[in-house]
Structure 1
Amino acid sequence: MKYAKPHLNYNAQLDLLRQRGLSIGDERAAVRALRRIGYYRLSAYTYVLRRAAAPGPSSERLAPSDQFIEGATLDQAVALHDFDDRLRGVLLSGLERIEVAMRVQIGYQLGKTDPHGHLDPAHLDAARCGQLARTRGSDTGRTLHAEWLRRFDALLDDARTEEFVRHFVRKYDGRLPIWAATEIMTFGCLTGLYNLLSSRDAAAIALALEVKNRDVVHGWLRALNVLRNHCAHNARVWNRPTVYPPRIPPPGLTHARLHHLPDADNNRVYVLAAIIGHLLVCLDPTTNWPRQLATVVKKFPAVSDLSPGSSMGFPDGWQQLELWNYEPT
């Protein structure tokens, strides 16, 4: 089907929303909101204010009606957008700290094994390194380590003008030791390398994170990498399903501050937020991040039947949990 919807100016966009039952309120403020946010971006936040679709003949899930529920307002959609913006900011601040800390952890631990251990499967987990890499369900024809090296080499090429990279090219053979190499690695690259570490090195890092299973840590990093990209690119996060739902370990495998997670929905942002909080407490006991996150979530806007529980997976009584009352040391 050919797309045929015409361009609409801001006033026409407001008229369309009004025709569909959305209360606009102050017209000038509404136009300012559209100029600041954009109609299409704002539609992700008006979407939850639309009426449910009439039941169809099959069990297929139908998109909501174009019509809005009674009492829905543009101000509510803007409030949801601005809440999401604040949430995204605090999540990203935590993820950035985790990214830097994982550079330190991997560089320090693998560096003890060999300064160039990331380049040689002999210093990693040979079995994992030798597995075939898959992209979107298809074999790449490369091993996991070869695929990781391909991505790392691309990052190294992008960083070729960095002074510290030029130093290693001029003075040595251009091979960066792991403690320098981690500085050019993305969160995704770090996650891939953690998966390839030897059992000893991966377990040592997992122990520092108070987790007794390396695969749980890798799954967490994989899920957090996607969230990090959503945050960095200003995508909606507050009610977005998780792309790679993280494993929730049983109580015996992690700290008591996460023992409530088996009852949580690992397809919602709450579990990811709890993982971020836990990791930051382990990596930096002086952190105040859990309380910062709690402060943002407590200001969730009063909109229809929405709540941090229904939209984000926050459990009942979350404000009383140990994690969100962590006292920096």
Structure 2
Amino acid sequence: MHYNKTALPEPQLLMGLWNKGLRIDDPKSATRALETIGYYRLLIYMRNFQVPTSKRFFVGTKFSDIIELYDFDRHLRLLVLDGIERIEVSLRAALSSKISITHDPHWYMDVSHFDQHIPFVQSQQKIIFETGPESKTRWIALQHYYTHYTTPPLPASWTVMERLTFGVLSRFYAALKLPNRKLTEVVFGFDEKILVSWFHSISFLRNQCAHHGQLWNTKLNKFFALGPNAYRQDFLNANRNELYPRLVAMNLLLKNTFPESQWGERLKGLVNGCRHVQPSSMGFPAGWETRPSWN
């Protein structure tokens, strides 16, 4: 079957929406939204206001309602990225300080500190690409190292860890031997097995956010977060591909590392502040705000 749809100018798109029962309460603003956000990106949010069978809008639905839901998802993504940034920085610091104090600043080059050989080799390849001599012009810290030192052949861990992505860091952490992973427990306050799953799942969430992906009413079908015994109800298998368990993991980590951020309270305000959002669409259980993980 040949795809024969054509691109339409914004006024025609608005007319089509109006014909489906949508109120265009501010045509100028609606036109600008289609120009700067795009009809296709907004389409997924429109579905929340449409009869599934006919695609006609529920009576009284306004274009501004769609934008309000879109803005909620955008603000949620920004809040999640803010929390992930703090967790990512904490992981970098834990790997570069706690393990370096126990061993030495170049411990990451020694395969004896790792349980898994293939991830070790892969991480070394990534480290050489990001921080090797050929990359010294990318960052002033690398220039400093290679200008003043000849051995070891790569910089200290606190320089290296700053150059690795969260995804690489999470795999790097998982490949460490158990005693090395346990050195970081004091920073995050949870068992290393739990942390491995959380870092993987949060890294996957970060990629979703970084590519401006949808968080509201979507499934995350990779890298599921394990639940500590004290918070088992928040990590039920039935909800493992929902956003909610990952947000719980983030909140628990942030309460231990950056409690002054009040990240959980900010999330409560955001989720409860949009009249078009059903928290259950993201896996939030009834009364979630009163659970121990959020207080």
Q: TM-score normalized by structure 1? A: 0.80
Residue aligning to 2:214: 236
**What is the number of residues matched between the two proteins?**
289
Residue aligning to 1:90: 79
Q: Cα–Cα, structure 1 residues 203 and 246, in superposed 2: closer, same or farther, change >3 Å?
A: same
Structure 2 residue aligned with 1:109, among 92, 98, 108? Answer: 98
Structure 1 residue aligned with 2:113, among 96, 101, 123? Answer: 123
Moved more, 227-236 or 18-27: 18-27
Q: Cα–Cα, structure 1 residues 321 and 23, in superposed 2: closer, same or farther, change >3 Å?
A: same
What code does the residue aligned with 1:50 have? Q
Aligned positions of 1:1-329 closer than 5 A = 1-53=1-53, 66-111=55-100, 112-125=102-115, 128-129=116-117, 143-156=118-131, 160-173=137-150, 174-212=153-191, 214-251=192-229, 256=230, 258-263=231-236, 265-300=239-274, 302-303=275-276, 306-309=277-280, 311-325=281-295
Moved more, 161-170 or 261-270: 261-270
Residue aligning to 1:138: none
Question: What is the distance in 2 between the residues matched to 1:245 and 1:51?
Answer: 33
What is the deviation of 1:39? 0.9
Matched position secondary structure for 2:261: coil
Answer yes or no: is the 8 Å Cα contact 1:280–1:289 preserved in 2. yes
Identity %: 29
Question: What is the distance in 2 between the residues matched to 1:241 and 1:168?
Answer: 44
Q: Encode CA deviations 1:219-239: one digit per residue, 9 max, x unaligned.
A: 211111121122223221122
What code does the residue aligned with 2:188 have? L
What code does the residue aligned with 1:172 have? Y
Question: What is the distance in 1 between the residues matched to 2:21 and 2:127?
Answer: 52
Q: Cα–Cα, structure 1 residues 45 and 159, in superposed 2: closer, same or farther, change >3 Å?
A: farther
Residue aligning to 1:59: none
What is the deviation of 1:159? 6.3
What is the deviation of 1:259? 4.1
Answer yes or no: is the 8 Å Cα contact 1:116–1:176 preserved in 2. yes
Question: What is the distance in 2 between the residues matched to 1:121 and 1:245?
Answer: 25
Q: Cα–Cα, structure 1 residues 75 and 119, in superposed 2: closer, same or farther, change >3 Å?
A: same
What is the deviation of 1:245? 4.5
Question: What is the distance in 2 between the residues matched to 1:323 and 1:207?
Answer: 19
Question: What is the distance in 2 between the residues matched to 1:276 and 1:247?
Answer: 10
Q: Encode CA deviations 1:73-105: one digit per residue, 9 max, x unaligned.
A: 322211110001111111111000011110000
Residue aligning to 1:140: none
What code does the residue aligned with 1:321 have? R
Q: Cα–Cα, structure 1 residues 90 and 145, in superposed 2: closer, same or farther, change >3 Å?
A: same
Greater percentage in helix: 2
What is the deviation of 1:66? 4.2
What is the deviation of 1:191? 0.7
Question: What is the distance in 2 between the residues matched to 1:274 and 1:262?
Answer: 8
Question: What is the distance in 2 between the residues matched to 1:37 and 1:26?
Answer: 16
Moved more, 311-320 or 14-23: 14-23
Question: What is the distance in 1 between the residues matched to 2:87 and 2:225?
Answer: 18
What code does the residue aligned with 1:166 have? Q
Answer yes or no: is the 8 Å Cα contact 2:135–2:142 preserved in 1. no
Q: Encode CA deviations 1:172-229: one digit per residue, 9 max, x unaligned.
A: 23411111111111111111110111210112223532322x3331221111112112
Q: Encode CA deviations 1:14-63: one digit per residue, 9 max, x unaligned.
A: 1222233433333223213223321111112113333335xxxxxxxxxx
Question: What is the distance in 2 between the residues matched to 1:76 and 1:159?
Answer: 50
Q: TM-score normalized by structure 2? A: 0.89
Question: What is the distance in 2 between the residues matched to 1:22 and 1:245?
Answer: 39
Answer yes or no: is the 8 Å Cα contact 1:22–1:68 preserved in 2. yes
What code does the residue aligned with 1:182 have? M
